[in-house]
Amino acid sequence: MSLIHLKRRQFLQVSGLSAVSLLLGGCGTPAFEDLVGQLSEPLNRKVGKLIFNPQKPVPEFYLSEIEPEALIVNTFRSTPIIEPENYRLIVDGEVNNPLSLTLAEIYNLPLTSMIIRHVCVEGWAAIVQWGGVCLREIIALAQPKANVQYAYFKSADGYYESWDIASVLHPQTLLAYEKNGEPLPIDNGAPLRLAAPIKLGYKQSKWVTKISLVSNLSQFKGYWEDQGYDWFAGI
Ligand SMILES: Nc1nc2c(c(=O)[nH]1)N[C@H]1C(S)=C(S)[C@@H](COP(=O)(O)O)O[C@H]1N2
Ligand SMILES: [Mo]
| CATH number of the domain residue 130 falls in | 3.90.420.10
> What phi-psi label fits residue 109: left (phi over 0), alpha (psi between -120 and 50 degrees) or beta?
beta
- What is the reported pLDDT for 117? 97
Number of domains in the chain: 2
Whether residues 166 and 191 fall in one domain:
yes
Closest residue by Cα to residue 77 from 206, 193, 197, 196: 206
> What phi-psi label fits residue 78: left (phi over 0), alpha (psi between -120 and 50 degrees) or beta?
beta
Ligand 1 centroid to 128 CA: how many Å? 14
Whether residues 115 and 88 fall in one domain:
yes
| Cα distance between residue 115 and residue 199, in whole Å | 14
Check pLDDT > 70 for residue 127: yes
User: Which atom of ligand 1 approaches the CA of 71 most closely?
Assistant: 21
pTM reported for the whole predicted model: 0.83
User: Which atom of ligand 1 approaches the CA of 118 most closely?
Assistant: 14
**CA 56-137-174 angle, 5° bins:** 60
Average pLDDT over the chain reads: 83
| Cα distance between residue 143 and residue 92, in whole Å | 10
Contacts of 86 (CB under 8 A, 6+ apart): none
DSSP category for residue 23: -
The range of the structural domain enclosing residue 145 comes to: 63-227
Q: Residue 202 — pLDDT band, cuts 50, 70, 90?
A: very high
Check pLDDT > 80 for residue 108: yes
Check pLDDT > 50 for residue 98: yes
Atom 9, ligand 1: residue with shortest CA distance: 75
